[in-house]
Structure 1
Amino acid sequence: MWAKQSLVPLAMEKQSHGEMGIIPSESHSHIKLLKINRELLVTHIRNTQCLVDNLLENDYFSSEDAEIVGACPTQPDKVRKILDLVQSKGEEASEFLLYVLQQLEDAYVDLRPWLSEIGFSPSELIQSKVVVNTDPVSRYTEKLRQQLGRDSKFVLCYAQKEELLLEETYTDTIAELVGLKDESLGPLGSLACLLDRSSGVLSEQGETIFICGDAGMGKSMLLQRLQSLWAARRLDAQFKFFFHFRCRVFSCFKEGDALCLQDLLFKHYCYPEQDPDEVFAFLLRCPHAALFTFDGLDELHSDFDLSGAPDTSSPWEPAHPLVLLANLLSGKLLKGAAKLLTARTGVEIPRQLLRKKVLLRGFAPSHLRAYARRMFPDRTVQQHLLAQLEANPNLCSLCAVPLFCWIIFRCFQHFHSVWDSAAQLPSRTVTLTDVFLLVTEVHLNRTQPTSLVQRNTRSQVETFRASRGTLRSLGQVAHGGMEKSLFVFGQEEVQAAEFQEGELQLGFLRAVPEPGVGGDQQSYEFFHITLQAFFTAFFLVVDDQVGTQQLLRFFQEWAPPGEAGAESCYPPLLPFQCLKGGGLAGEDPFKNKDHFRFTNLFLCGLLSKAKEKLLRHLVPPAALRRKRKALWAHLLASLRAHLKNLPRTQSGGFSQVQAMPTFIWMLRCIYETQSEKVGRLAAKGICANYLKLTYCNACSADCSALSFVLHHFRKRLALDLDNNNLNDYGVRELQPCFSRLTVLRLSVNQITDSGVKVLYEELTKYKILTFLGLYSNQITDVGARYVARILDECKGLTHLKLGENKITSEGGKCLALAVRNSSSILEIGMWGNRIGDEGAKAFAEALRNHPSLTNLSLAFNGISTEGGKSLAQALQRNTSLRIFWLTKNELDDEVAESLAEMLKVNQTLKHLWLIQNQITAKGIAQLADALQKNTGITEICLNGNLIKPEEAKVFEDEKRIVCF
């Protein structure tokens, strides 16, 4: 039953329309409740038929009763008659009437506050009764939910060849609330924040929430997600109606067409099964219960002149559909309804329409990982994919755009299905050219009409052949801009390329938000700078007028000025200028060359033999072969010339060259050809056996290119890749050339235990390694165990650099044991780990009687008194160590005393570094005294210990003691 309430003054019953006078009863009688609140019920019950239907269904009304109600002339009269009849039939009938009002919330939305206030609770008998909803508004809402639920369940993929479940595909993107000048107002917390009445509001009078973003940022998907949430009753409950329109639909109406708002909504969207007039009347009375979405304002093309058409504020007056659209957005029609409008960046709407503005910025790394989990449920495949993306900054930056991300993921899905192996995805087969060809195919297929029964079945070859004109126009604009380093194009350039209006909407070009080179006219730029590079290369390949000289012109941009001063002689195939001379390569030492280099990269990919089947329909096969031959010859000659003219040194039996980033780009291009023949010839042209590629900004994907060439190198090789950004994936990509490597330096490269495991598995197959550099990575004790096993099995390993990792005493013990068992190791670098006293004791055991170790660094390892004393005692039995670094530990005078005793015995140690410890003048004095009996030591460095300048003067005569 309902809760007891204090009586509300009778005057409350006579409030203005829209407010309720609530008069609860002091008795538990349902009849009295209906009597006391009679006027409120008469005012707010607008659907009598639903009540009559349920009363009939449950035998509380007879057919005669229904006829009596139906004979009443007005709606209020019908309500009064229902109340009279129900009260006459007793408590149970009155209780059931209240139950119907409570259960059918959508039908009697105005009574929700009253029902909540009286706390009505039906009896078990009444709860067992069946309540049916025959309310026209509620039935229309259900029809809308069914339609939108069906329409939003699947998303047609960008290639228009398959449907994907939205629930398994949709991933949030970065959405930002922005101001009138696009200044950031903070992130959009959730989709619900789009529709709230507080956050990000620019104008309370504005009616339209404007969602903008570049092509492929997920605007349509966001609206589809809203549809799905509303259909599943997971969106704001106030919305009883959801109307979704594509703006392009409004382009289909002719100039003379006229519709009233009711026809637009019902005849051109979803028609009510009963009483459309009643449904429409409810919509007009409660516009706040409606949510409208209009997708793609930039796709609206019409010759209809809105300026010559009068506004309309009448929902019954026929007008052109575009006028209805404009007046809906402005609020002159259905003021108070929520309206969402999307458009690409650069499209603006009048400020007075704006309620909120939201900018979609694409995927952040967290979104990318979430999307990977959706697309690749198998965790192994998922992790492999993310590693590949992390390895390739070019692909990873593209994945910030959801459209490109989907395309790249589908590439990986395809190759995974072909090879059916998560652990061995053929990543070297998926080139950047493959990805951009698919990007192009997807955008070109946007012109394909969709059908209820047929999807796009065009092959890639058919798509490119059918779009020859579009590709030519894009290539012409891209190439013309690339020659001038021009990235924003005005009307003149666009018109010269004979662009059709529809081609500008494909997504390759986007409007520049602010006036560009064309003044007040619209300007354009390619969606991504690499897209311009791709179409430039495409133009060079397919245009019949492009000869060898023009084909290879952008290779003049191989190196920025001064990168290789000796690089003055290039092969005669293309007359390169001296790098210090004039021309393109000498203009600006700070100019970014990546757009030229990507053009060269795509040129190599498009001229690969694998792409001949696709391109032979656009350019004669003979022309393709001629251009390919010229390109390959130039690549090989350039690589030889580049290496030949680099400075080289002879060291340790190696002929060493310090290669430049140019060399990395050359390898990328050779890799893009996917020609083993080119890779083999390139390897023959490498005239040095020590390649130093430090500080070349190489990423892990470059290791694929490096291996593509170096696995053909027939001699043993030293490879120095210190200070790049290779990570574990780069280590895996180097596998094909491990059989050649005797020296491998991978310091400062974000390598973890996973990468070290790969090194162990591969390097121990060949056992030719002499030098392993892994300084300043992210190796823990797990990785230290793998390194120890490398040291155990590679009997020729002489140098091991493991400083500045995350190795503790456990890893230190494993390494120390491996050092103890090695008769070849000469140098160990462990600076900056945390092996502590336990690790130091293990190294002490390794030092005792070691036959070969000459250099050891245990600096900055948290070693204190016990560890220091153990090391000192072990050195009394060692005759091989020449240099010992113990800098930045916690060694004190007690350790100094032990070291002094060691120096009285050990005459082979040359350099002892004790910088930045806790040794005082007392400990230094003991060391100085020990030197009286030691003629072998060259220096003891004690800078940064606990000694004052005046105390140090005592040791001025002992030149081997360095205090300051």
Structure 2
Amino acid sequence: MEKRGRSKMEIVPSESHSFIKLLKVNREHLVTHIRNTQCLLDNLLQNDYFSNEDAEIVCACPTQPDKVRRILDLVQSKGEEVSEFFLHVIQQLADAYVDLRPWLSEIGFSPSPLIQSKAVVNTDPVSGYSQKLQQQLGRDSKFILCYAQKEELLLEQMYTDTVVELVNFSNESLGSLDSLACLLDASTGVLNEQGEIIFVFGDAGMGKSMLLQRLQSLWAAGQLDPGIKFFFHFRCRTLSCFKKSAALCLQDLLFKHYCYPEQDPGEVFAFLLRFPHTALFTFDGLDELHSDFDLSSEPDTSSPWEPAHPLALLASLLSGKLLKGARKLLTARTGVEVPRHLLWKKVLLRGFSPSHLRAYTGRMFPEHAVRQRLLDQLEANPNLCSLCAVPLFCWIIFRCFQHFHDAFESSPQLPDLTVTLTDIFLLVTEVHLNRTQPTSLVQQNTRSQTETLRAGRDTLCSLGRVAHRGMEKSLFVFNQDEVQASEVREGDLQLGFLRTMPELGLGGEQQSYEFFHLTLQAFFAALFLVVDDKVGTRELLRFFQEWTPPEEAVATSTCYPPFLPVHCLGGHDLHGEDPFKNKDHFHFTNLFLCGLLSKGKQKLLQHLVPTAALRRKRKALWTHLFASLRSHLKSLPRVQSGGFNQVQALPTFIWMLRCIYETQSEKVGQLAARGICANYLKLTFCNACSADCSALSFVLHHLRKRLALDLDNNNLNDFGVRELQPCFSRLTVIRLSVNQITDSGVKVLYEELTKYKILTFLGLYNNQITDVGARYIARILDECKGLTHLKLGKNKITSEGGKSLALAVKNSKSIFEVGMWGNQIGDEGAKAFAEALRNHPSLTNLSLAFNGISTEGGKSLAWALQQNASLRIFWLTKNELDDEVAESFAEMLKVNQTLKHLWFYFCSFCKKSKSYCGHAYQKVTTSASRPGAPVCGRCGNSHWVLATAWLPVPVCLGRNSDKNLHWAP
């Protein structure tokens, strides 16, 4: 229809000033595409171009096209100025007249200064609804949610960035996210152009919900993509509040259960359907979605007007069957996966780095003296500091400190020595139970922790009962009947542990409740299991059955995306296992159970539970923990590699270590260490954070043998390195690549590793090490005489750091391999490495790829290789090498007889350069073979490889000038 209308229209340039003629010539086009007459009438009336009688004449027309015709007649009859203003309104109100944008652009309409001075009011329903959404989200996101309902902290004042990384399908880092606005940027981190989901994941407490709240705040303030006109935010756990019989169309879900348009909902919804790319949906906590409703009996939901269960609508939105083209941002805890074909981006939250923690401390404690006192305590307690890397736990610890400061201003003190997560949650429980105590200006509350918990036993039991009942069903939202059935009193609700649901209407007319965070629900569930006399051994150990690794389960789902929980989609015959269900809430319950039943807590809890019952539960837990640990260690996959007996651990092993650490039992730690028979422990991609290093050290320091430890691709940062100190005396291989480690962490490595001097392999690839850290690493190389492998690629090392490392390499008689890919050592650093290469006795593999090396540095390296008989593989990929360098390497080839692989991929050599090396190659080898050269995977001959691509086997890529020389394409 648009093409038919526009084919007949005539463009009359606005410079002719005949706006009346322009409207007459394009009358049919305007009648066809103007759907909103109210905005025109409002503005014509506002500026006294129309009278009330004119408006009444227009409104009396029976159809919308007739109204447009009558407006055009009246406008043209009133002259050029009114006609020009008519076009100005259409141009200014782009949302209301979106179909006329191309036409206005083609005619080149530009209003006169007089018309530009006229006020244009926007009464368009779409714009009005967008403004209402902005106001609602701005109001809802203004304050940070806190434990205590009465507290209000401004998001703008308290929000602190965390480490946010773009990752690929395999969760390998693609670089940090510069700002939250970049989440929607199509120029970076896109994995699949056809995907629509931005998947944000991270461990519990890493700040996923806070990130969404910040994103809402930015959109409400107009600081996100201006093309996004609609922002719909849903928390997945609230969708479980709908009854099985609930059936809604998409319009009702968005308008009646989120935000209702004040005018013309049909027009707003029609705009959304026509332009879905103007909408952003956020769904928080996919792993918290729970329903026993069988959606397999529901037909596919692809019609926006067809009523369906809200979970079916969610599935269809995420899969693109509804509102295809809309951007969807989905959060979940680590372990939940989304099908690749639906992903647009993957984003991993890693929590607070040391610099972020300092910034957060400054926001929480603006007074310098108080802030410094807290930082001093954290510095003295690495264990507590590592817990603070998780934003949620950091906030809890800081609130406790703030309470102590207010109550005992003379010497506020956090717990000393080793602090477990159980200690922290017991502390926050004590702090909030003491809120109920009357305050006095002259007398401070001096109740001990034991007295406080004993006085609040009934409250703890009732809250624990709610938490446990929910945990059994993976429920995180409770209606009023469930809360009352657990004997929760009104005063208990005022403590802030349970809060009312912020969303209204989803759970019906009754009020719904939830715990502040799933970790808090897990803590109260564990407390209930310990304190309640009626809990038997079987029920006590119920959640340990959830330790079965999710990798062993098999997904079966047909009609709906497999990332929706199978129990929501009617999946059966899975032996009771849901492979897409995140189990953190069960694991946290187990962890807190181990902490509460530890020997150190026995004195505290004996006032809440009979001693005999406590002893019985402790014995049952230890017996089960030993058996589970032994069974799990035996089941771990093992391989023989590089002279090591290597065991590949799974994330479940990390959770077991956490539980062992919570017990604070040296006996348990010794038994766990005894079960590690391998001498190479591989914990890559296990979602380990800095606090897990405390648990790891707690076990590994009991080992009597030396060990290789691979912790690549986790989230340890400098706090984690400090927590590994007790086990450095056992480690010969340390791999800490992709772990957010800075120079501070490297300094700790230097101080510890040079005490024992047993290190043979140090991997620190893709961290944040600068020249300062490079100097520490050089000293490690100087003092650890057995170090053979050093991996330092993709850090922030420049020429100064490069020179320090090169000097250490030169002096080392043991170093075998050095990886420096992706730094910026430049020509000065290359010259230093050239000096190190000259007559080096042991260095066999060296990578200086992507290091900003140009002519002078390249020539120095070529010259040095003429005097080197050890190097076999040399990478110079992605440098700025030219023909002079090629000629130098050609001369080197005539002399060097040991080099087998020389990589120049992505270097700027021309055909002349190839000829240099080709002639040199012809002189030093025949076409048949060169001693020790690899076999070509294409032609079958033995060739010296000058340059290859990314292929795993050296491949002949064609002959240049009849020379058997391998060049990358």
Please classify the TM superposition score into its range, dividing by the shorter chain length: 0.5 to 0.7
Partner in structure 1 of residue 716 of structure 2: 726
Amino acid at match of 2:492: E
In structure 2, distance between residues paired with 1:725 and 1:718? 19
- Match of 2:136, SS state, is coil
Partner in structure 1 of residue 533 of structure 2: 544
Partner in structure 1 of residue 968 of structure 2: 963
Query: Cα 1:595–1:394, aligned 2, differ >3 Å: closer, same or farther?
Result: farther
In structure 2, distance between residues paired with 1:818 and 1:474? 61
- Does the CA-based 8 Å contact 2:854-2:882 persist in structure 1? yes
In structure 2, distance between residues paired with 1:737 and 1:549? 36
Cα displacement (A) at 1:516: 7.1
Is 1:631 the equivalent of 2:621? yes
Cα displacement (A) at 1:461: 0.9
Cα displacement (A) at 1:654: 1.1
- Does the CA-based 8 Å contact 1:698-1:724 persist in structure 2? yes
Amino acid at match of 1:557: E
Query: Cα 1:185–1:941, aligned 2, differ >3 Å: closer, same or farther?
Result: farther
Partner in structure 2 of residue 182 of structure 1: 136
Partner in structure 2 of residue 407 of structure 1: 400
Query: Cα 1:473–1:953, aligned 2, differ >3 Å: closer, same or farther?
Result: closer
Partner in structure 2 of residue 392 of structure 1: 387
Compute the RMSD of aligned alpha carbons: 3.4
Cα displacement (A) at 1:440: 1.2
In structure 2, distance between residues paired with 1:901 and 1:693? 46
Question: Deviation digits for residues 710-759 of structure 1, max 9, x if unmatched?
Answer: 00011100000011111111111100000000000001111111111111
Which of 417, 425, 439 matches 1:450? 439
Question: Deviation digits for residues 895-931 of structure 1, max 9, x if unmatched?
Answer: 1111111111111111000111111111111111111
Cα displacement (A) at 1:652: 2.1
Partner in structure 1 of residue 463 of structure 2: 474
Question: Deviation digits for residues 862-918 of structure 1, max 9, x if unmatched?
Answer: 111111111111111111111000000111111111111111111111100011111
Is 1:499 the equivalent of 2:431? no
Which of 371, 391, 412 matches 1:376? 371
Q: Which moved more, 1:379-388 or 1:885-894?
A: 379-388
Task: Using structure 1 for the length normalisation, give the TM-score.
Answer: 0.58
Partner in structure 2 of residue 26 of structure 1: none
Query: Cα 1:217–1:509, aligned 2, differ >3 Å: closer, same or farther?
Result: closer
Partner in structure 2 of residue 535 of structure 1: 524
Spell out the pairing of 1:295-334 with structure 2 (5 A cutoff).
Answer: none
Spell out the pairing of 1:558-707 with structure 2 (5 A cutoff).
Answer: 558-563=547-552, 586-707=576-697
Query: Cα 1:637–1:959, aligned 2, differ >3 Å: closer, same or farther?
Result: farther
Partner in structure 2 of residue 803 of structure 1: 793
Question: Deviation digits for residues 28-78 of structure 1, max 9, x if unmatched?
Answer: xxxxxxxxxxxxxxxxxxxxxxxxxxxxxxxxxxxxxxxxxxxxxxxxxxx
- Does the CA-based 8 Å contact 2:769-2:795 persist in structure 1? yes
Question: How many residues end up aligned between the 2 structures?
Answer: 601
Partner in structure 2 of residue 429 of structure 1: 418
Identity of aligned residues (%): 70
- Match of 1:719, SS state, is strand
In structure 1, distance between residues paired with 2:604 and 2:668? 21
In structure 2, distance between residues paired with 1:828 and 1:921? 31
Amino acid at match of 1:183: L
In structure 2, distance between residues paired with 1:417 and 1:731? 33
Spell out the pairing of 1:714-753 with structure 2 (5 A cutoff).
Answer: 714-753=704-743
Structure 1, unmatched stretches of 5+, are 1-176, 189-210, 226-362, 566-580, 946-951
In structure 2, distance between residues paired with 1:380 and 1:408? 11
- Match of 2:551, SS state, is coil
Query: Cα 1:416–1:720, aligned 2, differ >3 Å: closer, same or farther?
Result: farther
Amino acid at match of 1:491: Q
- Does the CA-based 8 Å contact 2:680-2:709 persist in structure 1? yes
Query: Cα 1:517–1:542, aligned 2, differ >3 Å: closer, same or farther?
Result: farther
- Does the CA-based 8 Å contact 1:564-1:646 persist in structure 2? no
Cα displacement (A) at 1:383: 6.8
In structure 1, distance between residues paired with 2:674 and 2:411? 33
Question: Deviation digits for residues 603-635 of structure 1, max 9, x if unmatched?
Answer: 011011111111001112222222222222322
Partner in structure 1 of residue 806 of structure 2: 816
Query: Cα 1:373–1:379, aligned 2, differ >3 Å: closer, same or farther?
Result: farther
Partner in structure 2 of residue 846 of structure 1: 836
Which of 800, 804, 827 matches 1:837? 827
Amino acid at match of 2:151: K
Work out which of the two has the higher radius of gyration on C-alpha atoms and give 1 or 2: 1
- Match of 1:183, SS state, is helix
Query: Cα 1:898–1:417, aligned 2, differ >3 Å: closer, same or farther?
Result: farther
- Does the CA-based 8 Å contact 1:860-1:887 persist in structure 2? yes
In structure 1, distance between residues paired with 2:949 and 2:646? 38
- Does the CA-based 8 Å contact 1:917-1:944 persist in structure 2? no
Cα displacement (A) at 1:585: 8.1
In structure 1, distance between residues paired with 2:374 and 2:677? 43
Query: Cα 1:564–1:391, aligned 2, differ >3 Å: closer, same or farther?
Result: farther
- Does the CA-based 8 Å contact 2:844-2:871 persist in structure 1? yes
Amino acid at match of 1:549: R
Amino acid at match of 2:898: T
- Does the CA-based 8 Å contact 1:732-1:758 persist in structure 2? yes
Cα displacement (A) at 1:513: 2.9
Spell out the pairing of 1:136-215 with structure 2 (5 A cutoff).
Answer: 182-184=136-138, 214-215=146-147
In structure 2, distance between residues paired with 1:774 and 1:212? 37
In structure 1, distance between residues paired with 2:525 and 2:360? 32
Amino acid at match of 1:927: C
Structure 2, unmatched stretches of 5+, are 1-130, 158-351, 555-570, 934-942, 951-956
Is 1:903 the equivalent of 2:857? no
- Match of 1:961, SS state, is coil
Question: Deviation digits for residues 842-869 of structure 1, max 9, x if unmatched?
Answer: 1111111111111000001111111111
Cα displacement (A) at 1:450: 2.5
- Does the CA-based 8 Å contact 1:389-1:395 persist in structure 2? no
- Does the CA-based 8 Å contact 2:522-2:588 persist in structure 1? yes
In structure 2, distance between residues paired with 1:894 and 1:625? 80
Query: Cα 1:556–1:455, aligned 2, differ >3 Å: closer, same or farther?
Result: same
Cα displacement (A) at 1:514: 3.5
Query: Cα 1:792–1:595, aligned 2, differ >3 Å: closer, same or farther?
Result: same
In structure 1, distance between residues paired with 2:462 and 2:578? 30
- Match of 1:461, SS state, is helix
Which of 450, 455, 460 matches 2:449? 460
Higher relative contact order (CA 8 A, sep 6+): 2
